[in-house]
Amino acid sequence: MAAVTVFALCSGVWLLRDGSGAHAPPQPSAAQARAGLDGRAGERPAVPALPPAPPDRIRIPAIRVNAPLTGLGLTKTGSLDVPPAADENLAGWYEAGTTPGEPGTAIVAGHVDNADGPAVFYDLGALARGSTIEVDRRDGGVAVFTVDAVEVYAAKDFPDEKVYGAARRPELRVITCGGGYSRGTGYQGNVVVFAHLTGSR
């Protein structure tokens, strides 16, 4: 009986502890939403654009992100593909699109979590306006972006043009899952970070 009791105690603690440290990923507050009706219209480039060069790595110091980037394509339905989920510290960029730093909208996506727990962009929703995002480029340069807004959009009514549409100045989008979670259908949408090029080195 003592053995059964000890076993039940241990397994009970183990079952409850596994995941007790887990929480829903942070979601952006309304204060981080885009200011004005559409900030993009009429905005001038802050710094000269960079020539096209594929990116190698993304760093977001405010949320301790430092991850390599892999190339992403599109799925059969036309949505952006995602990096392999098994590697929790791997993000991807849309390689048929704009490279980060050249004029246009460059797109980076990564997982908020995988089956084992939090992944590369778990804290993306906690990012604040004005934060810095750095992208290492294969030409040896670093493109430095500043966050303009952090938004969350429902998958049902995703604003494609706003998120993926062309821009005149060099812009960056960083995307992960968010917007509530249901066991049946998974995450309800995406957290999208809007940033534009403000420096390079």
Partner 1 sequence: MRRTARPLTGIALAVAATALAAAPAYGASAGGLEVSPASVVPGGQVTVRTAACGDGGSATGDASAVGAGSFSLAPDAHGQDATGRFRVPPSAQPGTYEITATCGGSGRRTTGDLVVTLTSMRGQVHPRGSVKTGVGGALGPDPVQTAAGVAALAVAAAGGTWLLHRRARGDRI
**Binding residues for partner 1, per CB under 8 A?**
1-2, 4-6, 8-9, 11-16, 18-20, 22-25, 52, 74, 77-80, 82, 85, 94, 96-98, 102-104, 107, 109-119, 121-122, 153-155, 158, 160, 164-168, 175-178, 181, 183, 186-187, 189-190
Backbone angles phi, psi at 38, to 5 degrees: -150, 100
The SS3 call for residue 107 is strand
Toward partner 1, which CB reaches closer, 46 or 130? 46
CB of 92 to partner 1, least distance (A): 9
Toward partner 1, which CB reaches closer, 36 or 116? 116
CB of 119 to partner 1, least distance (A): 8
Looking at residue 174, the DSSP 8-state letter turns out to be E
Toward partner 1, which CB reaches closer, 79 or 130? 79
The two tokens of residue 144 are 């430095």
CB of 137 to partner 1, least distance (A): 15
Measured distance CA(155)–CA(190) in Å, rounded: 7
Measured distance CA(79)–CA(62) in Å, rounded: 28
Toward partner 1, which CB reaches closer, 33 or 130? 33
CB of 136 to partner 1, least distance (A): 20
- Contacts of residue 98, defined as CB under 8 A and 6 or more positions apart, other chains included, come to 52, 104, 105, 106, 107, 170
Toward partner 1, which CB reaches closer, 56 or 123? 123
Q: Computed from CA positions of residues 39, 44, 48, 51, in that sequence, does the dihedral angle turn out positive or negative?
A: positive
First to last CA, the chain: 68
CB of 65 to partner 1, least distance (A): 14
